Structure 1
């Protein structure tokens, strides 16, 4: 074949390969970029999906590269094409001159000892392998291995935890990304310096071990955390997770043993493979992390008002202030059940003696569970409508509610204090409340050291095997509390509100309520406290429990003690009789279940209207009238001077013992993913008799892993 023919054939082959490559890329693009699907996706799920896709892309890219190179070689050989045809190439190297004869060369110019060259090369290679890597190379290898472990556990994990829980945390990615990144860099450098101290085979094994631990953490999160308990403060019975613990331990031992065993056999090769794996997984996880910052709901943990670029925050502004005129105060003691109250009264008959002028309603029913649904309902009065998509209800419950607006129209200053307002446009609450607003200097309220510490604890809880999870267990309020720098200003205008009953009582008892003589007709305050909810850390005297753990009874009595301190100060200031006070729970006893209720549940309900001094001094009375959460709204609107009949009858006006009440239970089946079913009960008699509870057949579906707002 002439040079011209070879060039022509080479050109045609190149064209064919280009066409084939273009077609292959089109096919890949068609699979990789399907038509857009419009849906809200939980960032934690999205990151796992992207990590999987990125990993597949890296693997396919490597395979495709090898395949194309080998295809090219096969085509060249099949067509008898010489790539070097028409090119200037160097000839074979051989000895010249007098050395030619001495070398005993063959006619091709190669020494007759050429056959022995592989053995010589192997000997040189073995000699080189016996020499330890110089420190500059060791530090580079150490940095890659250390970066993989530190990035996986101490950077990716905190980012994903904050992003996927943006509705429950007071700070978001925009606030914590920098200190977390700096922490990851510091851990990487320190660990790399320690690794680089080792030499030879010990160094190789150490590097491989670090990468193996990173791989184990990655596998743990991706595949072994499916039944991880929620961080709601409830005590975890770790004995219920024996199978998960055993499987997790077996996987970690197997992975570490495989890596270390390989390193013991072929240390240099295993070191190279391990570093390559670490580098690839850094890239894969980086794609996932990038998605967190590009996703609108993850860009800031707090919902941003349409009219403002500053994040809205539920602050402590006005938390410890009352009006000199009229006050309507609603205390929500989380998870305080009526049956718990009955038990406490049996043991302590004088428990409600300080609650003079109050009426206790033991026949009380709630609205929705858990708190992320119940609290927004108690602020809006909005329930899902029959046939309405539940996600639409969540999106619109704040925008279509007029409850707070009706209070504000009566000239009242409104303060809503809860860290559980959930998703939806809370920007609708900003212009109706005194405490939901951007912070003056947002970063000054972030406790950097506390935030990094608690997020590292969360990361270790998530990424470690089950056997090591208990010491790092946490709950949401603990995370929020650790992140916040407390404002010295008693009004807390630049302090995010977090549920911490011990701190609230301390501020209340030592700082006291401040009486304001503003232009408002009065103050409305809704204050959400931890109440009877786990964890039990407060004793009956509103003090930290000895040993850090109390009982439900002790904490419940302590929660009532906080309210007692509040009303005691109102009495001292002469404001008690002109104050309407409601003490209630967002829901009664509740637990995660895929099945409907099998016994009654009832939230605490106590109420006192504004009344004469004489009536305000009368002992607490008990009413057998059936009340519900729905009665909160007419009672409050009537108390502020509005038209309560728009919402129904007040608690004090109910006289129908046969009235129907409705309760919306959330069932959860994690075996089917995170699909929840909201089912409606009708209660047509005393709530304590479960025969009076009937399913209506109305239900709504809600996939919590595929909806985050």
Structure 2
């Protein structure tokens, strides 16, 4: 039988069909996916769309044109089989992204990384196998239907994706598309991160996402962690009040309780502009305290407002240099990794889950360096050491990455491939040991009030660590108590430490005794299907949560866990969402 000649018309028809099937997953995975992730989280990233977006689009187009051309060399049936499998992969990925990723956190709030139970992984794998098997069977047994089905469905999906892609730009905030002139813009200065007072100090370490269960686990492996903490009291029954760096960090710094009847922006404005907060910072000023705050994401404290909100209270609010450096290799890798994480089956998601320190280190400001990761803070501490200033007392707040992810070893060196919860905790206390030793070497340890805590623990175990050493406090060994304290007590405890009457602000941690019963409530942010979706605080995209589940308990972590595991909570709807 003579082989039918390929005419220019039939070649073009086959080429365009192939191009459609090849371009769809490239566009979905390499263009629309990263773009949607970016526009949904641009305020977290610090770079703008043109830093990667148009490059991704160009590469996807060129790759599609080239791959489609190469596939024309392949005989018709094997080529159609390849395209059918690619189509099945695309359909499964689309369904995964749109319908099966319910409550999927995109930018890593879990220290443990992404996890799914075995049943979910197996069912998800079966779903993917069924889709892929169906695509092969249609190709083999329904050849006439195959081409029409692939053409129609791919055209519809590509059209949906392109419309969605265009709509991202129509609703985008201007700051996602172009840099503003940052000369003269307010920012937190990192210049004094390693400077303390030669007089009196209050030092507050806020180690992000540090559950007290993480401490217990690590202590079992490294019992020597308490050696440098002999003068501290460990409160092993400490409640965070709010799970999440928002709203917890603003609450810690102002003492202002969350008002779910207010929007994110209005509540944050209230935090910094109320009589109690104003009086608190006036007391610190009266006692000659310079308040320096070191945290990488200021929108947690200001929402869409500027740092002018903190002026007059936080002393290292200054002007930002426009000097900015971008690690383009890390940027490209991170955006594609996030897209894979969203697109791929459950089994593969843990391999592509992006940790917090990865995306926050894409952009750096060499003229205004601020250390946030445990290992970078420790490295600079070793390199430069602490320095002293005699002009004032210092209240220093160090918000570090803590156990937001497990990426450092027991020596506090970056080692993401081998790090565990225990090594990360041990590494953090290696860093803290060095810091405390430098305080002693400089002769300012005894005269310092030091608190080592966290903004929250993990979602299911939201209690966090809380260590405290008061001024001139000494013990032979670390003390431990199960007194029922809360981060609601932090501001009163600071006021107590400077020798003022703290009772207008509430109760100090010292007001509670071991085994005491106390009513405490923790707010856990959730996506509750009983309530409508809400916008994010910037008004651009849909928020990841729409309510809080409030757990009220009277005892210890065990009692809180019982309520959480059995779903005994009070739901509270919100107006908008930070996350």
Query: For the superposition of Structure 1 and Structure 2, which TM-score range results when normalised by the shorter chain?
Result: 0.7 to 0.9
Q: Does 1:239 align with 2:114?
A: no
Shift of 1:691: 9.7
Residue 170 of structure 1 contacts residue 301 of structure 1 at CA under 8 Å; is this kept in 2? no
Aligned with 1:574 (options 429, 434, 443): 443
Q: CA deviation at 1:256?
A: 6.0
Distance of 1:636 and 1:308 partners within structure 2: 34
CA deviations 1:468-500 (Å, max 9, x no partner) are 43432333333323x234x555x51xx6x6x52
Query: Which aligned pairs between 1:240-279 and structure 2 lie closer than 5 A?
Result: 240-241=119-120, 242-255=122-135, 258=138, 264-265=143-144, 270=148, 278=154
Q: 1:677 to 1:625 in 2, by over 3 A?
A: closer
Distance, in Å, in 2 between the alignment partners of 1:638 and 1:667 is 31
**Alpha-carbon deviations, 1:574-623, whole Å to 9, x = none?**
222332210112234532xxxxxxxx863221112333xxx468654445
CA distance in 2, matches of 1:417, 1:640: 24
Aligned to 2:162: 286
Distance 1:708 1:254, change over 3 A: farther
| 2:325–2:366 Cα contact (<8 Å) kept | no
Shift of 1:455: 0.9
Q: Which residue among 171, 175, 180 is the counterpart of 2:46? A: 171
Q: What is the CA-CA distance between 1:349 and the residue it aligns to?
A: 5.6
User: What's the CA shift for 1:233?
Assistant: 3.4
Cα 1:450–1:200 change in 2 (3 A) is: closer
**Residues 91-120 of structure 1: CA deviation (Å, up to 9, x unaligned):** xxxxxxxxxxxxxxxxxxxxxxxxxxxxxx
User: Contact 1:135 / 1:196 at 8 angstroms: preserved in 2?
Assistant: no
Give the deviation of 1:637 after TM superposition.
3.4
Rounded Cα–Cα distance in structure 2 between residues aligned with 1:690 and 1:407: 36
Find out whether 1:563 has 2:563 as its counterpart: no
Does 1:701 pair with 2:572? yes
Q: Which residue matches 2:243? A: 369
Q: Give the one of 471, 476, 482 matched to 1:610.
A: 471
Change beyond 3 A, Cα 1:555–1:200: closer
What corresponds to 1:27 in structure 2?
Answer: none
Question: Quick check: 1:248–1:466 contact (8 Å CA) kept in 2?
Answer: no
Q: Does 1:440 align with 2:315?
A: no
Q: 1:207 Cα shift?
A: 6.1
TM-aligned CA distance change 1:346 to 1:197, over 3 Å: closer
Q: What are the within-5 Å matches in structure 2 for residues 596-675 of structure 1?
A: 602-611=463-472, 615=473, 619-622=477-480, 625-639=483-497, 644-652=502-510, 658=516, 660-666=518-524, 668=526
CA–CA distance in 2 between the matches of 1:222 and 1:342?
A: 39
Q: CA RMSD in A?
A: 4.4
Q: CA deviation at 1:433?
A: 3.6
Partners of 1:196 and 1:692 in 2: CA distance? 58
**Secondary structure at the residue paired with 2:49?**
helix
Residue 360 in 1 paired to residue 234 in 2? yes
* Alignment pair present for 1:542 and 2:412: yes
Return the offset for 1:447: 1.8
Counterpart pick for 1:473 among 342, 353, 366: 353
Distance 1:700 1:202, change over 3 A: same
CA distance 1:289–1:341, change in 2 (3 Å): same
Match of 2:96 in 1: 220
Structure-2 change in CA distance of 1:659 and 1:226 (3 Å): closer
**C-alpha separation between the residues in 1 aligned to 2:525 and 2:152?**
45
Query: 1:159, 1:653 → 2: CA distance?
Result: 51
What are the equivalent positions in structure 2 for 1:124-523 lying under 5 Å apart? 130-131=6-7, 145-166=21-42, 169-171=44-46, 175-199=48-72, 202=75, 205=80, 213-226=89-102, 228=104, 231=108, 232-235=110-113, 236-237=115-116, 239-241=118-120, 242-255=122-135, 258=138, 264-265=143-144, 270=148, 278=154, 280-295=156-171, 299-300=174-175, 316-338=190-212, 341=215, 350-385=224-259, 388-389=260-261, 392=262, 394-402=264-272, 406-407=280-281, 410=285, 411-419=289-297, 422=300, 424-425=303-304, 427=306, 429-431=309-311, 432-433=313-314, 439-441=320-322, 444-481=324-361, 483-485=362-364, 487-488=365-366, 492=369, 499-516=372-389, 521-523=392-394
Distance 1:663 1:477, change over 3 A: farther
Partner of 2:549: 678
Change over 3 Å in CA distance of 1:208–1:360 after alignment to 2: closer
Task: State the SS of the aligned residue for 1:330.
Answer: strand
Cα displacement (A) at 1:461: 1.6
Unmatched 5+ stretches in structure 1: 1-125, 592-599
Q: Is the 8 A contact 1:311 1:438 kept in 2?
A: yes
Encode CA deviations 1:36-88: one digit per residue, 9 max, x unaligned: xxxxxxxxxxxxxxxxxxxxxxxxxxxxxxxxxxxxxxxxxxxxxxxxxxxxx
Q: 1:415 to 1:228 in 2, by over 3 A?
A: closer
Task: Give the deviation of 1:185 after TM superposition.
Answer: 0.9
Q: Which runs of 5+ in 2 are unaligned?
A: 532-544
Q: 1:344: Cα distance to partner?
A: 5.7
Distance in 2 between residues matched to 1:343 and 1:138, nearest whole Å: 60
- The answer as to whether partners of 1:418 and 1:527 remain within 8 angstroms in 2 is no
Are the equivalent residues in 1 in contact too, given 2:138–2:145 (CA < 8 A)? no
Question: Aligned equivalents of 1:243 and 1:654: distance in 2?
Answer: 49
Contact 1:150–1:187 (CA under 8 A) maintained in structure 2: yes
